[in-house]
Amino acid sequence: MNRTDEVAIVSAARSPFGKFGGTLRDFTLPELGGLVYAEAIRRAGVDPADVEEVATGVNLPGADRSIARQVLINAGIPPERVAYTVDRACCSSLAAITMASRSIRLGDAAIAVAGGSENMSKVPYFLTETRWGHSLGDITLRDQLVIACPMTGKPRAVQAGEEAVEYGVTREEQDAWALRSHQRYVAAREAGKLEAELMPVEVPRGRGEPIVFAEDEAVRPDTTLEQLARLKTIYGSPTVTAGNAPGLSTGASALVLMAPDEAKRRGKRPLATIVSFAMASGHPDRIASIPAEAARLSLGKAGLTIGDMETIEINEAFAAVPLVSTLILAGRDPGKAEEIRARTNVNGGSIAIGHPTGATAARLVMTLAFELRRRAEAAGDGRPLYGVVSICGGVGEAESVVLRVET
């Protein structure tokens, strides 16, 4: 197989994202991931036996292990194929995509499937100090869902809020962004824009007929700015509330990747092309600003600027994240920041959709790819359109990818 500089995204699919304790709460990560990976392969029109590599991002595996391997088997891919599980916090499914892309770029694989699976409703409590017995006194259960930085001990909400204050991004701006997320998501749903990425999931229901779960569960279409303003901040954060942050979620996402020559040989028109990708890291407290650094790196590798991007996806881990990162990408120019924000998360984001941490990044990639495809086909002028995805992860991490779509 030949080396290549670019990677074709041939198909994409995701489950609806369920809310905490919601409709998808009983699915294991391999079960949900297997369903979605199988659907992405079906949409690509390829035989599962042709898949050479599977990468699955997971952030909170609970007591399970070898999740990508189980996803591969559940998806009907032959057991002789290889699979690996990736943990890079919220960047995990984008790390899975970029690692599988490296295999394709090096010529080690022609077809791969990458994405992520997460069920935050199924994360167990941990008894971390009881293996060797326990004397008199209380036993403490550790809850991984009280999400804080393991290095600094700060809750993520505090980190995001402190960076918002540092960059002059107000609580009011964050609440307004949260409202915008819900409004833009509802508008996109009503326009039918989500149909291309979503797949229905049958949810068993005892002895009755299964429920067909077909829409994201966390969106609040009746949200108002007044309601958001009344919410108290959480974990001692100066600005972050339950309203301007996403809830704990469940979902899976997957993309079928091919070498461009392989896609051409099979007569497959790419949904989008991965032009470049980059990982970034910084101080463990940098959560709202680090996506800007990752975006800068991936854009630099592609020889492009933020001004060249038709649309932009920056994950709404908190509303502070896209607000701070767009301000940095604008060189702290408020007017330019507003222009960049107008092109960012145009169909809503994780505050509305939900944020199953191991699966969100792949959702961002497919959301961007489908939006660029719609715009390119509407324009009909043959001009390539570019977009960038960037997402923060825990402990000062971020990842970014630049996509191109051509008619």
Cα 147 to the center of its chain, rounded Å: 17
How far apart are the two ends of the chain, measured CA to CA in Å? 27
Residue 35 backbone dihedrals phi, psi, to 5 degrees: -60, -45
Q: Which of 374, 357, 292 is nearest to 145 (CA)?
A: 357
Q: How many CB atoms lie within 10 A of CB 168?
A: 12
Q: Which of 376, 383, 384, 113 is nearest to 252 (CA)?
A: 113
Q: How many CB atoms lie within 10 A of CB 179?
A: 22
DSSP H or E run through 175: helix 171-190
Residue listed under structure tokens 């590599």: 53
Of 91, 134, 182, 355, which is the active-site residue? Answer: 355
> Residues near 144 by Cβ (< 8 Å), separated by ≥ 6?
60, 123, 126
Active-site residue, 149 included: no
Active-site residue, 392 included: yes
Work out the angle between the directed axes of helices 320-329 and 156-166 (0-180°, nearest 10). 40
Of 90, 91, 134, 283, which is the active-site residue? Answer: 90
Of 134, 182, 283, 392, which is the active-site residue? Answer: 392
The Cα–Cα gap between 40 and 17 comes to 16
Is residue 6 within 8 A of residue 260, CB to CB? The reply is: yes
Active-site residue, 90 included: yes
Residue listed under structure tokens 């980190």: 159
The Cα–Cα gap between 152 and 149 comes to 6
Side chain identity at residue 287, one-letter code: I
Active centre residues (catalytic): 90, 355, 392
